[in-house]
Structure 1
Amino acid sequence: MGLLDRCQELFRTANLYEVLGINNEATEAEIRRGYYKASLKVHPDRAPDDPLATEKFQVLSKLYAILIDKEQRAIYDEQGVVDEESDILSKDSCWEDYWRQLFPKITVQDILEFEKKYKGSDEERKDLLQLYTQHQGDMDTILTSLLCGSQDDEPRLGDIIRTAIKDGEVEEFPAFTQESDKKKRARRKRADRERKEAEEMQKEMGLNEDDDSLTMMIKQKHASREKNFNSFLSDLEAKYCKKGGKSSKRGKK
């Protein structure tokens, strides 16, 4: 049975993009995120005794390898078929090892280094203004949706938004420009309470920055704050981990 037939059987669609929850104009980063999110649900670590889950994982890995390869993706986009005899599909690959290479374990240090590079970057500014427009100036939602966003960042982020409004880059929303002091105080109080709870939890558990438990606690904190489907963890792992799945034919014409 070919890859497309297996997709239809396992995921009820033969469209490779639909299986990953993306569209045919997706960038490599979006394909990688889609693969991460879809494969995480059926990864062998989570379902070691489920043959169907393992089969789904293998199929997801193969279709990702197809879409991430420029030549193979072009064939699929133009003809709606995949080359079943390509090296990608014909070789006997260990797809779990392949997945591990793409998404290595995220540590506390990785998170801290990402935050250091992300904060103050053009990417953060772009994300911030997008969230500002999407949520029509609601700073509560903006801060909980922005990667690495915290109450401590609010003055700096607010200045970026005000400048963008002044320059006509974004619309002026009353929820931002006319936000009450009461709401601002409530947000600060909530942030202080969350910080205190996190410090107490870390102290009670006797954690340090080398502990896996601390890594998990940080991941859970970010994931619980995320209002949209993309969690901090999946964005970080899928967007910033090593790229893979390149065919040995890449670059040949």
Structure 2
Amino acid sequence: MGLLEQCEELFKTSNLYEVLGIKKEATEKEIRRSYYKVSLKVHPDRAPEDPQATEKFQVLGKLYAVLSDKEQRAVYDEQGLVDEECDILSQDRSWEDHWRLLFPKITKQDILDFEKKYKGSDEERTDLIQLYVQHQGNMDAITESALCCSQEDEPRLCSIIQAAIQSGEVEEFPAFTKEDAKKKKARRKRADKERQEAEEMQKEMGLGDEDDSLVMMLQQRQKAREQNYNSFLSDLEAKYSKKSEKSPKAKRGKKK
């Protein structure tokens, strides 16, 4: 069975871009990040309840190999075909090992270094403004999605958004400018509860200051926010991922 047929069977679409939830015009960075997020959801270690998890994970690896290779992607974009005999698909490869090369395990120090660099940066501001527009000023959704965001950061983030509104950069959404005080209070209570639960979980799991402890805590936090697609951990891992090795030259034009 060819790659496109496998995608149809496992993901209900033979369109490689639709499998990743992106547009055909997606950049290399967007493809990479979407691949990471989708593959993370079906990773055999994280989705043991899915009997097709391993097969889905392998198919996603092949899909990414095609779209990350310029020649293979050009063939697919122009003809809607995949060269099943090209080296990147025909060679015997461990897609789990390949995934780990692309997305190496991050450490506590990686997180701390990233947070120090990210907070107050132009990148943080750009991400925040995008979230403000995307969620139409809903601070619950914004704080859920923002990277490196804690309750202590909220006043700073609000001031950034307010400045953008005053300058005319973005429109004024009532959900932000007229947010009810009770809603703000409820958000603070949720944050305090999360912090307490995290501390209790850390004690129960016997976690100390070793490198993996913070990462594990963030993973546990993400399980409680499965609906939040732009999680801190997945975005951070994607940002820290290494560039993929250049794929061998592809052979053109063979139909699946």
Range into which the TM-score falls when normalised by the shorter chain: 0.7 to 0.9
**TM-score, normalised on structure 1?**
0.83
Q: CA deviation at 1:226?
A: 7.0
Aligned CA distance change for structure 1 residues 165 and 53 (closer, same or farther; 3 Å): closer
Q: CA deviation at 1:148?
A: 1.7
Aligned CA distance change for structure 1 residues 204 and 41 (closer, same or farther; 3 Å): closer
Letter paired with 1:210: E
Partner of 1:141: 141
Deviation track 1:90-119 (CA, whole Å, cap 9, x = no partner) reads 222222210111122233222222222221
SS in 1 for 2:246: coil
User: What are the equivalent positions in structure 2 for 1:3-14 lying under 5 Å apart?
Assistant: 3-14=3-14
Contact persistence 2:103–2:240 (CA under 8 A): no
Kindly indicate whether residue 54 of structure 2 is the aligned counterpart of residue 54 of structure 1.
yes
Structure 1: gaps of 5 or more residues: none
Partner of 1:65: 65
Deviation track 1:73-104 (CA, whole Å, cap 9, x = no partner) reads 11110111122332212222222210111122
Aligned residue pair count: 250
Deviation track 1:98-152 (CA, whole Å, cap 9, x = no partner) reads 0111122233222222222221122211121122222222223221221221111
**TM-score, normalised on structure 2?**
0.83
Aligned CA distance change for structure 1 residues 39 and 158 (closer, same or farther; 3 Å): closer
Kindly indicate whether residue 27 of structure 2 is the aligned counterpart of residue 27 of structure 1.
yes
Question: CA–CA distance in 1 between the matches of 2:54 and 2:95?
Answer: 10
Letter paired with 1:7: C
Aligned CA distance change for structure 1 residues 123 and 48 (closer, same or farther; 3 Å): same
Question: CA–CA distance in 2 between the matches of 1:60 and 1:185?
Answer: 42
Question: CA–CA distance in 2 between the matches of 1:60 and 1:80?
Answer: 17
Structure 2: gaps of 5 or more residues: 251-256
Question: CA–CA distance in 2 between the matches of 1:141 and 1:41?
Answer: 21
Q: CA deviation at 1:69?
A: 1.1
Aligned CA distance change for structure 1 residues 203 and 43 (closer, same or farther; 3 Å): closer
Q: Using CA pairs under 8 Å that are at least 6 residues apart, name the structure with larger relative contact order, 1 or 2.
A: 2
Bigger drift between 23-32 and 164-173 goes to 23-32
Bigger drift between 66-75 and 40-49 goes to 40-49
Letter paired with 1:159: S
Aligned CA distance change for structure 1 residues 88 and 246 (closer, same or farther; 3 Å): same
Partner of 1:156: 156
User: Identity of aligned pairs, percent?
Assistant: 74
Question: CA–CA distance in 2 between the matches of 1:53 and 1:223?
Answer: 18
Bigger drift between 177-186 and 131-140 goes to 177-186
Bigger drift between 77-86 and 188-197 goes to 188-197
Question: CA–CA distance in 2 between the matches of 1:51 and 1:176?
Answer: 43
Deviation track 1:133-191 (CA, whole Å, cap 9, x = no partner) reads 22222223221221221111112111111111111001122332233444434433443
Over the residues paired in the alignment, what is the CA RMSD in angstroms? 2.9
Question: CA–CA distance in 1 between the matches of 2:186 and 2:41?
Answer: 37
Kindly indicate whether residue 60 of structure 2 is the aligned counterpart of residue 74 of structure 1.
no
Aligned CA distance change for structure 1 residues 34 and 184 (closer, same or farther; 3 Å): closer
